[in-house]
Structure 1
Amino acid sequence: MSTKFKILCFLLLIAIILTAIINLNTGFLSLNFQDFFAESSNSQIAEIRINRVLVMLLAGISIPTSGFLMQEYFQNPLAGPDILGITSVASLSVAFYIFFSYNVDLPEFLQNSFLSLSSIIGSLVLMLVLLSMSNKFQDKSYLIIFGFLVSAFAGAIVSLLQFYAENQSLKNYILWSFGANNMVTRNQVYVLSILVLIGLFICFKSIKPLIGNSLGTSYAQSLGVNLNQLKIFIIVASSLLSASVTAFLGPILFIGIIVPHFCRLIYNPAKLWQQWILNMFLGMLIMLLFSIIAEKTQIPLNVISSVFGIPVILMMLLKHNKV
């Protein structure tokens, strides 16, 4: 590893620790050190803030990794779980679960499991469709248009479900769609951690084949890269990472696109192992910053990510058009 990469990682790690500490101390009440490590009147609030920091760290790891995998596989800097419609379909699957399981009494752990499972199944199905469509489109930019169409269709169905939903079901879905990171419980953090670890393991197995794939299909095959296996790994890892976060935090838009873009700007884009690590570090930092802004302003998390992400993507498009 180069000295520049080590310095970047060290600076990002320091920034992550500082923003995590600030996050723990951001809220309506000021907490003491003992509130986090001993029983007190504010222990429950301290636990909520710890859960908030943990879920932001997991989201910061998952969403950029998902976007990184998809951009490297499709060789398109605009590929991402939200642009290609994966987040929308995962949201649709969660909407079906919330609206149709309202009267079903299940233990909390099973509710969390089914919530994440519905989101993951929806995103996996769409990824399979995207990969089959990618073989039919000579220009892979058409996948972006296809993703927008899928997002619009999923949004229309969600609107229809909202129109006919009962009041409490509608309220639950709206609260979920705002990205309410303060509502995440410790059990949900455990479930999300397991799903993220599985996704990261599959990503780890995908990086080396991705390096060969980036050099061209024929060259990758000559190196012994199993392209079908790589395709499956990308489907599963990207869907698992993006859908698991969507299940518990709602649709966090554009982070999967802009974080890999920033990482390619600050370090050599050809070094995929280092790029993956930078994506996770920078993703955690950005999500923690968004969490602080959300607590200070009371603006929903997904609104903040959209306000931040849209101008960046617009600049990317303008820059690509000039080239």
Structure 2
Amino acid sequence: MSNKFKILCFLLIIAIIFTAIINLNTGFLSLNISDFFTESLNSQIAEIRVNRVLVMLLAGISIPTSGFLMQEYFQNPLAGPDILGITSVASLSVAFYIFFSHDFLIPEFLQNSFLSLSAIAGSLVLMLVLLSMSNKFQDKSYLIIFGFLVSAFAGALVSLLQFYAENQSLKNYILWSFGANNMVTRNQIYVLSVLVFIGLFFCFRSIKPLIGNSLGTSYAQSLGVNLNQLKILIIAASSLLSASITAFLGPILFIGIIVPHFSRLIYNPSKLWQQWILNMFLGMLMMLAFSITAEKTQIPLNVISSVFGIPVILLMLLKQNKA
């Protein structure tokens, strides 16, 4: 590793620790250090804030990694779990679960698991469709258009479900869609951590083949890269990472696109191992910053990510157009 990369990582780690400390001290009440380590009147609030920081760290690792994998695989800087419709379909799957699960008696400890499984199943189906369509489109940029169509269709179905939903189901879905990071419990974080770890393992297995794939299909095959296996790894990693976060935090939009973009700006884009690490560090820092902003302004997390992400993507499009 170069000295520049080590310095970047060191600075990002310091920034992550600093923003995490600010996050722990952001809220309606001022807490003491003892509230985080001993039983006190405010210890429950302290636990909520610790959970908030942990889930933001997991989201910062997962969403940019998912976007990074898709951008490198499709060789398109605008590819991402939300642009290609993965987040929308995961949201649709969660909507089906929320709106129809009230008819069944499901134990409380299983509800979160089914919520996560529904989001993962929806995103997995869409990823399979996307990869099959990629073989039919010579220009993979058409997948972006296909993703927009899927997102629009999924949004229309969600609106239809909301129109006919009962009041409580509608309220539950709206609260979920706001990205309420304060509502994630410690047990949910345990489940989310397992899903993220599995997704990161698949990502680790796919980086080396991605390096060969970036040099061209023929060259990758001459190096012994199994392209079908690479597809499966990308499907598994992207679906698990993006859908698990969507299940517990709601649709966090555009982060999977802009974080890989920033990583390529500050370090060599061809160094995929280093790019993956930078994506995770930048993602954690950005999600912690968004969490602080959400607590200070009382604006939903997904609104903040959209307000920040949309101008960045527009600038990316203008930059590509000039190039």
TM over 0.5, shorter chain:
yes
Distance 1:282 1:107 in 2: 38
Q: Over residues 231-273 of structure 1, what are the superposed CA-to-partner deviations in whole Å (9 max), with x where a residue is unaligned? A: 0000110011000000000000000000000000000000000
CA-CA distance at 1:102 after TM superposition: 2.0
Separation (CA, whole Å) in 2 of partners of 1:205 and 1:98: 34
How far residue 278 of structure 1 moved from its aligned partner, in angstroms, is 0.1
Aligned-partner Cα distance in 2 for 1:113–1:15: 33
CA distance in 2, matches of 1:109, 1:228: 37
Render the CA deviation track for 1:70-101: whole Å, top value 9, x for unaligned: 00000000000000000000000000000001
| Structure 2 Cα separation of the partners of residues 109 and 230 of structure 1 | 35
| Gapped regions of structure 2 (runs ≥ 5) | none
- The structural deviation recorded for 1:105 is 3.2
Moved over 6 A (4+): none
Equivalent residue number for residue 159 of structure 2: 159
- In structure 1, the residue matched to 2:214 is 214
Q: Deviations over 1:132-171 (max 9, x none)?
A: 0011111111100000000000000000000000000000
Instruction: Kindly state the Cα deviation for residue 104 of structure 1 after the two structures are TM-superposed.
Output: 2.9
CA-based RMSD of the aligned residues comes to 0.6
Partner of 1:123: 123
SS at match of 1:29: coil
CA distance in 2: counterparts of 1:188 and 1:36, whole angstroms: 20
Alignment partners' CA distance in 1, 2:304 and 2:107: 33
Secondary structure, aligned partner of 2:40: coil
Q: In the aligned structure 1, how far is the partner of 2:10 from the partner of 2:105?
A: 47
- Between 99-108 and 25-34, the greater mean CA deviation after superposition: 99-108
- The 5-angstrom pairing of residues 136-285 of structure 1 reads 136-285=136-285
Cα deviations across residues 257-297 of structure 1 (Å, max 9, x unaligned)?
00000000000000000000000000000000000000000
> Residue 14 in 1 paired to residue 10 in 2?
no
Report the Cα distance in structure 2 between the residues aligned to 1:151 and 1:285, rounded to whole angstroms. 28
Once the two structures are superposed, residues 205-253 of structure 1 have per-residue CA deviations (whole angstroms, 9 ceiling, x without a partner) of 0000000000000110010000000000001100110000000000000
Q: State the aligned residue count.
A: 323
**Distance across 1 between alignment mates of 2:229 and 2:8:** 33
SS in 2 for 1:102: helix
Aligned-partner SS, 2:103: coil
Q: Secondary structure at the match of 1:101?
A: helix
Aligned-residue offset at 1:108: 2.9
Secondary structure, in 3 states, of the residue corresponding to 2:31? coil
For residues 116-145 of structure 1, the C-alpha deviation after alignment (integer angstroms, 9 at most, x for no partner) is: 000000000000000000111111111000
Task: Answer with 5-14 or 94-103: which moved more.
Answer: 94-103
Q: CA deviation at 1:103?
A: 3.8
The CA distance in 1 between the partners of 2:81 and 2:109, in whole Å, is: 26
Q: Partners in 2 of 1:154 and 1:10 — Cα distance?
A: 41
Equivalent position SS for 2:303: helix
CA offset at residue 16 of structure 1? Answer: 0.2
When structure 1 is superposed on structure 2, of 104-113 and 73-82 the one drifting more is: 104-113
Write the distance in 1 (CA, Å) between the matches of 2:272 and 2:283: 16
1:41–1:104 Cα change, 3 Å? farther
Alpha-carbon distance between aligned partners in 1 of 2:175 and 2:113, rounded to the nearest angstrom:
19
CA distance in 2, matches of 1:93, 1:208: 32
Determine the C-alpha separation between the residues in 2 that align with 1:213 and 1:138: 16
Paired with 2:99 and 2:40, the residues of 1 have a C-alpha distance of 38
Please, what TM-score do these two structures have when normalized by structure 1? 0.99
Number of the residue aligned with 1:63: 63
Q: What does residue 318 of structure 2 align with?
A: 318
Q: Distance in 1 between matches of 2:108 and 2:9?
A: 38
Q: CA deviation at 1:318?
A: 0.2
Within 5 Å, give how 1:41-120 maps onto structure 2: 41-120=41-120
| Whole-angstrom CA distance in 1 between matches of 2:75 and 2:116 | 29
In structure 2, the partner of 1:28 is 28
CA deviation vs aligned residue, 1:155-206 (integer Å, no higher than 9, x gap):
0000000000000000000000000000101111010000000000000000
CA distance in 2, matches of 1:252, 1:319: 24
